Amino acid sequence: MTPFLLDDFRTGVSALGTRWEGFSDRVMGGISDLRLGIEADSEGPYMALSGDVRLENRGGFIQARLLLKEGTSSHYDGSKHQGIRMVARGDGDGYYVFLRTTSMVFPWAFFMAPIPVTEEWSEVRIPWSAFKKGDFGAAFPLDVRKLRSLAVTAYKKAFRARLQVREIGFY
């Protein structure tokens, strides 16, 4: 299996030529607050996702999403990898990686896996087998050959989110 570093947040553009986008439940009437940016410490830059996740108005998420496109293709073939790898830190649970494939039409359809983070920087590996259908599900299994987007998300509970990602890619 071949490792591939999608982003180390040094240039503002991923290795696929796409940029991170911030989304919150406000797109569907929620009231969560999102802050997304690139910050740095003595070890270098990292993406910082923070804000208040609120459950009112059927809300409950903030996220940073990256479209996965290879060349002229509308997707990324993840079959040459075993899963997602990141170097991250955060303040507990409530964080997930969301994956969407080319088979998913509705924005609320996704596959998800928890991101186990601590206050210290650590490498996290999430195998494809850890991804389960999201709350609103999908009618088919995860096809990693047709990945359309990857998102790091604070989700499912009311809390003040603080997730920092120094590197993200595939292993």
**Looking at residue 91, which CATH number applies to its domain?**
2.60.120.430
Range of the domain at 137: 4-170
pLDDT above 90 coverage of the chain, percent: 84
Mean pLDDT of 155-162: 96
Q: Bridge-partner residues for 90, per DSSP?
A: 163
Tokens of 59: 């809300």
Give me the sign of the Cα torsion angle 52, 53, 59, 63.
positive
Give me the sign of the Cα torsion angle 83, 15, 166, 61.
negative
> pLDDT by residue (tens digit) across 52-97?
999 998 889 999 999 998 777 889 999 999 999 999 999 989 999 9
Domain count, the chain: 1
When computed from its CA atoms, the radius of gyration of the chain, rounded to whole angstroms, is: 15
